Structure 1
Amino acid sequence: MSAGALVFVAALVAIFVLAGPESQPGRPLEPPGPPGTGPLTLVSLGDSTLSGEGAGLYTPETNGLNGNWCHRSPNATVEKTKVSGIETRINLACSGAPSAQVGFGDAKQWTEPSQAQRLGELTRSNRVAAVVIAVGANDEPHFSQLISECFQSWFNVRAAPCSERLKTEWQPRIDAMVPRVVDAVNDVRQALADRGYTLDDYDLVLQSYAAPIGPGIPDAFRNLNGCPFRTEDLDWVAGPGINALTEGLRSAASQTGARFLDLSRAGVGHEACSGGPNAAQEWFSRLTVQWTDLSSVDRANHAIQESFHPNAAGHAQFARCLGEFLEGDAPSAACLKGDDGNLHAALSP
């Protein structure tokens, strides 16, 4: 539900209050907007980009407890997004989630069931005004695995850069991803439709991904001090790689009628290691090792899980942009840095 719709809801509430219950004899009054009862709610679905991976302070139940590594953080984008009329924010995103787990079905991610199913259940207590989704990177693109492969190629100087192989494989991977994302987004819509929601009752945003690394990394930090990647791979990830992924997701948004928020250029100048010795202005985590986890069999495999994800500052910037986008009604926008140094929602050409 856009800002205009939220204002309209407020006006309708005023009319009902002024008219009083006598104006609707024999009929219980229902709040305008999304059906049901409870607070107007913004919900995030998807993978690590929205769960809060890299932002720290993970909730105990998603930080390895009973095998749940969804890594949801109070610093995640949805928790910091401000939109007029929104009373509650709920994060259902899970680190590493593929489209199959966001949509309906039996797929689980770190023990958690379908996010679309959980969204439907949420409507029993909350009025869902907006849903933002980030998904697709863990399907055929395997973006995190891609970063890992490029990391490994840094060690093997005799081998070709990882981007050489990906140049021919990448677009087919994106093409295979798109229908999976379309199915997941349609399942999210169906989850709300099954609860009596119409398309006018809520906003649905599909967002793309920001490149966590880029070509501006000082040579002294293109190693285990922070970002061990080859120059050729940095150029490819931040350029053709992220651009093709963005266009695939833009297509999925168009096919499902979702609004589209382009984050492909959101991190420019603030990528991991871009600050050299000063990481204060970076919006993404560098190579991060939880050394204490290495001593635990159950946690060792997740010791570097936070690496190369938006950090708390990055999530706050993405939240600023998302909030501006939701306040308007444009079908698409891009998160770009303004003159004030912060991200803003700029209308897409």
Structure 2
Amino acid sequence: MARSRWWLGAFALVGVALLVGVFVLIGQDRTPPDRPGPPGRGPLTVVTIGDSTLSGEGAGDYTADTNGKDGNWCHRSPNAAVNKIELPGVTKAVNLACSGAPAGQIGLGTVKQWTEPSQAQQLATLVKDHRVTAIVVAVGANDDPHFSRLISECFTSWFMDDGNPCSEKIKDDWQSRIDAMVPKVVSALRDIKKVLRTAGYSAEDYQLVLQSYAAPISPDIPEDLRNLNGCPFRTDDLRWVKETGAADLTEGLRSAAEQADVRFLDLSRSGEGHEACSGGADPSTEWFTRFTVEWNDLTDADRFSHAIQESFHPNAEGHAQLARCLSEFLGTSERSAACLKGEDGNLHAAPSVLAQNDR
């Protein structure tokens, strides 16, 4: 969610279950046994598709080819969740996600994001020499919700003493934006399934998971950090993001997952207690970036507009926590779950009803 570089959009996550077969020899039949799991050749692979929530925006150390080279600002990071997912038999992780990607670029078609073509089409190329067993998708926040514009409105609201909370304006058509987003997400998910079906995959050969977004900011932050040193938003707006915005967006994406017949991972409450600025003077406990400025980029005309792109996205620890939850979810057959903090302080995959009932 590069251009949208926003909290809501920003985050957060989804996962899939690994299916492993066994070689079977029947009697004296010398026919080569079926390959376990997905068809084809190559390493057993987990793939992420989507926007900044999965590309690694905010996690730093972006690959050179996605950090502005020739106009590519996908910001893929080696610290992204896909590189930390642990699944039996999986030896390869591939990150196709691109910051700012809309549903149109994730599905089949001609839409590009930061010079890159369709992610579904990239997947079609990947399955020629990789056996894809799990795909995690994050999509929707860069479509009708238009977080890039909303974050600007909320910043302006904070900056102007006489301004109204931006959430007051967002409320007017927030649900209609989500409703308009849902069919676009469904279409993108169906395109991903079409690519795998064309490659000879059956529904039992892989798992496809749609994840929702975390609320990376909270009203429960120190007053002295509600500024350019941390989280420059009005308290009313911070509360709306956490209590309403992320929850409503999650329900829209849950509907999309059901319509597309894929698994669903609820991230709406995954950042609780670890939001940006929640640590006060000690940001080490936070799983999301604060308002972040790459000062050197301000002196480069080609990089100037991307100087605050990392703001309010999961940091490296946030991605590690997401990967922990994804790994657990992918190891189950549950159709849906929620990433919630456990007694050990880490994220775990819990029955999604827990998150819904505790709102």
Please state how far the C-alpha of 1:29 moved relative to its aligned partner. Answer: 4.1
User: Following the alignment from structure 1 to structure 2, what is the Cα–Cα distance between the partners of residues 148 and 128?
Assistant: 39
**Is 1:303 matched up with 2:317?**
no
2:21 equivalent to 1:2 = no
Give the aligned partner of residue 123 of structure 2.
119
Residue of structure 2 equivalent to 1:142? 146
Determine which of 259, 262, 265 is the counterpart of 2:263: 259
Alignment partner, residue 82 of structure 1:
86
Sequence identity, in percent?
62
TM-score (structure 1 length as normaliser): 0.95
Give matches, 1:160-309, under 5 Å. Answer: 160-309=164-313
Between the aligned partners of 1:207 and 1:70, the Cα distance in structure 2 is 19
* Cα-to-partner distance string for 1:216-248 (whole Å, 9 max, x where unaligned): 111000001111100000000111111110000
Kindly provide the amino acid, as one letter, of the partner of residue 262 in structure 1.
D
Offset, 1:262: 0.2
Distance 2:149 2:93 in 1: 30
> What is the deviation of 1:30?
4.2
How far the C-alpha of 1:2 sits from its partner, in A, is: 2.6
Secondary structure in 1 matching 2:172 = helix
- Give the Cα–Cα distance (whole angstroms) in 2 for the partners of residues 23 and 142 of structure 1: 62
| Deviations 1:19-68, CA, capped at 9 Å, x for gaps | 7xx9443x444412211011110000000000000000000000000000
Give the secondary structure class of the aligned counterpart of 1:246: helix
1:56-71 equivalent positions in 2, closer than 5 A = 56-71=60-75
Matched residue, 2:100: 96
Q: Deviations over 1:145-175 (max 9, x none)?
A: 3223212210112121100011111000000
> Which aligned runs of 4 or more in structure 1 are off by greater than 4 angstroms?
none
Tell me which amino acid in the other structure corresponds to 2:349. Answer: A
Return 5+ residue gaps in structure 2 as ranges.
Answer: 1-15, 354-359
User: Which stretches in structure 1 are left out of the alignment for 5+ residues?
Assistant: none
Partners in 1 of 2:28 and 2:288 — Cα distance? 55
Aligned residue type for 1:2 = A
Taking the aligned partners of 1:23 and 1:272, their CA distance within structure 2 comes to: 63
CA distance in 2, matches of 1:135, 1:39: 26
How does the TM-score come out when normalised to structure 2?
0.92
What SS does the aligned partner of 1:204 have?
strand
**RMSD between aligned alpha carbons?**
1.2
Name the SS for the 1:280 alignment partner: helix
Tell me the SS of whatever aligns to 1:285. Answer: coil
Deviations 1:283-304 (Å, cap 9, x if unpaired)? 0000110001111110000000
- Richer in helix (by share): 1
Report 1 or 2 for greater relative contact order, CA contacts < 8 Å, sequence distance ≥ 6.
2
Aligned match for 1:132, one of 125, 129, 136: 136
Q: For 1:326, which of 323, 330, 333 is the aligned residue?
A: 330
